[in-house]
Amino acid sequence: MNSQPVTLYPSRQFKDNARAALADTELRGSLRSAMDFLMAKRSSAFPDTDELDALRTLGEAIRQRCLSRLPELLEQLEERLTANGVTVHWAETPAQANAIIHGLVAARNGTLMVKGKSMVSEEIELNHHLEAHGIQALESDMGEYIVQMAGEKPTHIIMPAIHKTKAQIARLFHEKLPDTPYTEDVDALIRIGRNALREAYLQADVGLSGVNFAVAETGTLCLVENEGNGRMCTTVPDLHIAITGIEKVVEKLEDVVPLYSLLTRSAIGQPITTYFNMISGPRRPGEKDGPREVHLVLLDNGRSQAYADQQLRKTLQCIRCGACMNHCPVYSRIGGHAYGTTYPGPIGEIISPHLLGLENTRDLPTASSLCGACGEVCPVRIPIPEMLMRLREESQRPAGEAVDHPLRGQGAAASTTEALAWRAWRRVYASPGTYRLFGWSATRLRALTPPTQAGWTQNHVPMTPAPKTLHELVREREARRKES
Amino acid sequence: MSRPSDVYLFGTCLVDLFMPDAGMDAITLLETLGIRVHFPQAQSCCGQPAYTSGHPREARDVARSQLDLFPGDWPIVVPSGSCGGMLKHHWPTLFAGEPEQERVVAIAARVVEFSDFLLNHLDWQPVDTGPATRVAVHTSCSARREMNVHTTSWALVDRLANVTRVVHDHESECCGFGGTFSIKHPDIAGAMVTDKARALEDSGAIEFVTADAGCLMNINGKLALDKATPLRGKHLASFLLERTGGKS
Amino acid sequence: MSARESILAKLRAAPKTALAHPDIAAHYQRFPFPDDPVGKLRHWARMMRSVKTEILWTDATHWPEALAEWADHRRPASLLLSDTPHGHQAAAALATRPTVPALRYFDSELDGWKEQLFHDVEAAFTRVRCGIAATGTLVLWPDAQEPRTMSLVPPIHIALFDTTTLHGDFHSAMHQENWAAGMPTNAVLVSGPSKTADIQLTLAYGAHGPRDLVVLAMLPDGISPAMLEEEGA
């Protein structure tokens, strides 16, 4: 398999990445039609707006309740899982998580890992880490399998290969897989992937999966999928390792019912996925299949920073449906790669600063027109625009300023020029006298309007003040009325 | 809702400096409907540009300078969805825990977006005197998602007997203005406004209207740069005044 | 300090909020799935068929025959059975037919014959714990007799479903059967054969799990297949 080049913080090149993506007409076309399709599917999955509103409110309440008890629930989860025979590991950083997983694989001299879809494993760059130690980590979700083969990263958290056309995939399979004829027939392409991966499940020493919901009450790991690769990875190899962020814990088993419904309908407009797995432990005595060992790795990686702040904590309500991406006018034009982060789109803009620091995600909080389409569809009502504005504030806040919950990279986007510009703006707009003078001079000097205005004139004719301000026009009219 | 005798007009800074005619048309229209319009001369801006750029302190200082301007218990009409959203929804947040909080909440409760005011407070039944035309309506995202008034502009246009309202592709999508977004991310904002302008052109509309000054400046600024198209947008107030014979 | 202690300390240091657990049951009472046995079955069947599931209506007496007829028609080369009463009943019914698929019982730990399961078994027959009407779903509760790979690895999965166990929605299934009191190693909701739309959003069945899902749906007295297949059903 191709090893993907490791680029440190591609998120720093956001603007360049976005420009390149915008110029790629094939990508633009794929994205537009895919996002239109997914938006229409979601819409048809919620025919009853009362039910949708009530379900979103319920989903939000469940997630907020669970977050309010996060430390207790994590301990309860650990206790129940341990009682069920699952080993629980804790990792503060990607490096710790990688070391734990590598240790488990190395302990049984494993050489092949099959992976179900796990965005957290992307977050910690697990594949690179294992490959550096001679362990092959093979993605088994069809979309992930394709992007791994292409040496790329997922461009969408639900549809990893949504940026690729079937012709591109046909070419890829033909070139990379031995004895594979070129075919654009989707059934045939899926059969090719199926056959290759079935051999891998059989041979693999270890299966890795993500977790959609971890239930504290019963010690159950829930996994949502359509393909059956998640079941394969968590059933066939002798060792199953699950990895998840600490925020994924829910209190009660029944919590998963509304959350699961919100997830599948918001993500892809399906009433339900083909499979909903509830895994509560390794093979019990007498059982004839299933892994003999199950481990869960709980990863922090900056989530506790978001948790520390009551407003930003809402970020952790996310159930990773991707609806915010599908509805985002920015994401739907530049796609996921441009963000340079594991989580792209609106949710990526608000979670990545906690994972990577504002210094590495400087341009993400501003990469939104605050149109609100994301917040409008979020199944757990995360006020994404509000989070973006807060992150803008923190990235503009001088690095040295003391606050209750400083964010990593505070002040990363602060510049003296911008700070001075806003201070000047305040001086003008907060004082009626100055503002009147400003309006008068701007209109009288309109002929001197600069022909290029940073950013604006790239797409527009210059902003030119009118001959007179509204203030003036109103005064003049009042004067005329007094005369008559 | 009872019909008020007087209203305040909060003109907004963009209208003030770049399209004062739209503001005057809003005033004239309200006056022809028998409403006394008060325009506080000390008004400037709601503070939104700084607020959405991560500078709430500057935004608060500017907003604070506006708090004394609306002493009467009249509605505050705003001819721009996003500024209306700032006053109505973000001012209470901006002043949370500040000494002015209570006053701000009371002011916010009186804020009404212009098209909402005409339709729902006045139940205005315009008499269309203009020639037959086709019009597209662009609704600002704030009007749509913060103020929940995206249907009011449609309803007003639909009350004009000789006007056919046409729907444009991805009508609910943002035009790409977003305040400083269009300055900080001109490539992305440019792609958005390009698509919006094309959708409006392809809709077959003769002209388009919007009740948001930011969107109007954005889309018209783009159309003017392209030169190829005669299509231009108007503020809803100007359009309505023109259709009902109030504009000379 | 261990990673565990450090993470928990950070979380505990964060501001506390007291929020009640929301009333989930109340939501499903407000938006219930209509509790009409025929309506539920019709909806369940429509949903399952919309994701390429084959439904064979039968009853508690005649299902072995229905299975054998299906096998006559479909001719699977091999069939994996569980060492259970229904597994043996299936074998007995199949044995009366002119062409009998190669039968195998899942009677030993998988480790010794994983390869055969992947390469040599075309179909497997299991029971179903219950069903969910709203989403067109079967609930599988694998155990020592009927292991989880049976419904996963063979390309065809045949499921024996007692339709009197059909619940309206997921919440009532979980609630009425009190799942929280004891979960098995692995429980799984199945809604159709495995599928993917990862290539250009084109739907394809048979991704990694079964390509075909066949349900032997046992109807109670008083409900006939005709009632379920009427016009508009």
pLDDT tens per residue, range C41-62: 999 999 999 999 999 999 999 9
Q: CA torsion, points B24, B27, B31, B36, in degrees to nearest 10?
A: -130
Q: Are residues B47 and B141 in the same domain?
A: no
Interface membership of A479 toward B (CB under 8 Å): no
The pLDDT, as a whole number, for residue C233 is 43
Q: Are residues B153 and B108 in the same domain?
A: no
* Tens digit of each residue's pLDDT (9 = 90 or more) over A327-379: 999 999 999 999 999 999 999 999 999 999 999 999 999 999 999 999 999 99
User: B55 and A422 in contact by Cβ < 8 A?
Assistant: yes
Q: Are residues B162 and B79 in the same domain?
A: no
* pLDDT classification of A79: cutoffs 50, 70, 90: very high
Number of domains in chain B: 2
Rounded to a whole number of angstroms, the distance from the CA of A238 to the nearest CA of chain C is 9
The answer on pLDDT for B2 being more than 80 is no
Domain boundary among B98, B121, B144: B121
| Residue B126 counted as domain residue | no
The answer on pLDDT for B248 being more than 80 is no
State the DSSP code for A457. Answer: G
Average pLDDT over residues B214-226: 96
The pLDDT, as a whole number, for residue B147 is 79
- Cα angle C47-C53-C54, degrees, rounded to a multiple of 5: 120
CA–chain centroid gap for A312, Å, is 15
Look at residues B118, B166, B161, B163 and name the one whose alpha carbon lies nearest to residue B138.
Answer: B166
Tell me which chain C residues have a C-beta less than 8 angstroms from the C-beta of A308.
10, 13-15
| Residue B192 counted as domain residue | yes
The pLDDT, as a whole number, for residue A8 is 64
Here the tokens at position B225 are: 């740069």
Query: Residue A395: closest CA among chain B residues belongs to which residue?
Result: B54
Interfacial A residues in 167-196 facing B (CB < 8 Å): none
Rounded Cα distance, B193 and A295, in Å: 50
The answer on pLDDT for A83 being more than 70 is yes
Rounded Cα distance, A347 and A322, in Å: 8
Q: Write the CATH number for B227.
A: 3.40.50
Q: What is the ipTM of this complex?
A: 0.97
> Where do the domains of chain C lie?
35-222
The pLDDT, as a whole number, for residue A3 is 45
Query: In a 3-state reduction of DSSP, which class is residue A416?
Result: helix
Average pLDDT over residues A393-416: 95
In this complex, does chain C touch chain B, defined as having at least 3 beta-carbon pairs under 8 Å apart? no
The pLDDT, as a whole number, for residue B143 is 80
| Residue B114 counted as domain residue | yes
* Tens digit of each residue's pLDDT (9 = 90 or more) over A421-444: 999 999 999 999 999 999 999 999
Least confident of A283-297, A407-421, B19-33, B132-146: B132-146
Q: Roughly how many angstroms between the first and final C-alpha of chain C, as a whole number?
A: 63
Query: Residue C10: closest CA among chain A residues belongs to which residue?
Result: A304
- What is the per-residue burial (b if ≥16 Cβ within 10 Å, else e) of B56-87? bebbbbbbbbbeebbeeebbbbbbbbbbbbbb
Interface probe for C, chosen from A278, A294, A309 (most Cβ of C below 10 Å), is: A278
Rounded to a whole number of angstroms, the distance from the CA of B207 to the nearest CA of chain A is 18
The pLDDT, as a whole number, for residue B150 is 78
Average pLDDT over residues B118-135: 96
Q: Report CA-CA distances (Å) from C52 to A229, C115, C165, C213.
A: 19, 28, 22, 8
Nearest CB neighbour to C191, from listed A272, A281, A282 = A272
Residue A117 sits at φ, ψ, to 5 deg, of: -65, 125
For β-strands C123-127 and C156-162, DSSP reports them as: parallel
Q: Are residues B86 and B160 in the same domain?
A: no
- What is the per-residue burial (b if ≥16 Cβ within 10 Å, else e) of A103-112? ebbeeeebbb
- Residue B28: count of CB within 10 angstroms of its CB: 17
Query: What pairs with residue C184 in β-bridges?
Result: none
Rounded Cα distance, C139 and C176, in Å: 14
In this complex, does chain A touch chain C, defined as having at least 3 beta-carbon pairs under 8 Å apart? yes
- Residue C99: count of CB within 10 angstroms of its CB: 8
The pLDDT, as a whole number, for residue A284 is 97
| Residue B127 counted as domain residue | no
User: B16 and A18 in contact by Cβ < 8 A?
Assistant: no
* Tens digit of each residue's pLDDT (9 = 90 or more) over A261-286: 999 999 999 999 999 999 999 999 99
**With contact defined as beta carbons under 8 Å apart, do B126 and B158 qualify?**
no
**Helix ranges, B65-212 (H):** 81-85, 91-94, 101-109, 114-116, 141, 150-158, 181-184, 186-202
* pLDDT classification of A164: cutoffs 50, 70, 90: very high
Rounded Cα distance, A276 and A216, in Å: 17
Show the domain range for B101: 6-121
| Residue B128 counted as domain residue | no
The answer on pLDDT for C232 being more than 60 is no
Long-range (24+ apart) CB contacts under 8 A made by B130-133 are B130/B160, B130/B162, B130/B163, B130/B242, B130/B243, B131/B162, B132/B162, B132/B163, B132/B164, B133/B162, B133/B163, B133/B164, B133/B206, B133/B207
The pLDDT, as a whole number, for residue A2 is 42
Query: In a 3-state reduction of DSSP, which class is residue B131?
Result: coil
Q: Indicate the residue type of A96.
A: Q
Q: Counting every residue, how long is chain A? A: 484
Query: In a 3-state reduction of DSSP, which class is residue C157?
Result: strand
* Tens digit of each residue's pLDDT (9 = 90 or more) over B148-176: 777 899 999 999 999 999 999 999 999 99
The answer on pLDDT for C68 being more than 60 is yes
The answer on pLDDT for A458 being more than 70 is yes
Rounded Cα distance, A151 and A6, in Å: 11
Average pLDDT over residues B26-42: 97
| Residue B202 counted as domain residue | yes
Query: Residue A221: closest CA among chain C residues belongs to which residue?
Result: C186
Tell me which chain B residues have a C-beta less than 8 angstroms from the C-beta of A393.
54-56
The answer on pLDDT for A1 being more than 80 is no
Average pLDDT over residues A68-74: 98
User: B55 and A396 in contact by Cβ < 8 A?
Assistant: yes
C35-222: what CATH class?
A: alpha beta
Interface probe for A, chosen from B15, B31, B58 (most Cβ of A below 10 Å), is: B58
Q: Report CA-CA distances (Å) from A152 to A160, B24, B40.
A: 10, 56, 58
Burial class of C217 by CB neighbour count within 10 A (0 to 12, 13 to 18, 19+):
buried
Query: Residue B23: closest CA among chain A residues belongs to which residue?
Result: A470
Look at residues A134, A162, A158, A133 and name the one whose alpha carbon lies nearest to residue A147.
Answer: A162
Q: What is the mean pLDDT of chain C?
A: 96
Query: In a 3-state reduction of DSSP, which class is residue A299?
Result: strand
* Tens digit of each residue's pLDDT (9 = 90 or more) over C120-147: 999 999 999 999 999 999 999 999 999 9
Interface membership of C1 toward A (CB under 8 Å): no
* pLDDT classification of A417: cutoffs 50, 70, 90: very high
The pLDDT, as a whole number, for residue A4 is 46
Q: What is the mean pLDDT of chain A?
A: 96
Q: Are residues B157 and B70 in the same domain?
A: no
Q: Are residues B109 and B203 in the same domain?
A: no
| Residue B85 counted as domain residue | yes
Rounded Cα distance, B10 and B70, in Å: 10
The pLDDT, as a whole number, for residue C181 is 97
Average pLDDT over residues B51-78: 97
The pLDDT, as a whole number, for residue A5 is 46
Interface membership of A404 toward C (CB under 8 Å): no
User: A393 and B178 in contact by Cβ < 8 A?
Assistant: no
Rounded Cα distance, C71 and C102, in Å: 11
Rounded to a whole number of angstroms, the distance from the CA of A148 to the nearest CA of chain B is 28
Query: Residue A218: closest CA among chain C residues belongs to which residue?
Result: C180
Interfacial A residues in 306-345 facing B (CB < 8 Å): 329-330, 333-334
**With contact defined as beta carbons under 8 Å apart, do B104 and B95 qualify?**
yes
The answer on pLDDT for A470 being more than 90 is yes
Query: Residue A97: closest CA among chain C residues belongs to which residue?
Result: C3
* Tens digit of each residue's pLDDT (9 = 90 or more) over A88-110: 999 999 999 999 999 999 999 99
* Tens digit of each residue's pLDDT (9 = 90 or more) over C73-120: 999 999 999 999 999 999 999 999 999 999 999 999 999 999 999 999
Rounded Cα distance, C139 and C130, in Å: 5
Average pLDDT over residues A118-132: 97
Rounded Cα distance, A241 and A291, in Å: 10
Interface membership of A25 toward B (CB under 8 Å): no
The answer on pLDDT for A291 being more than 80 is yes
* pLDDT classification of B145: cutoffs 50, 70, 90: confident
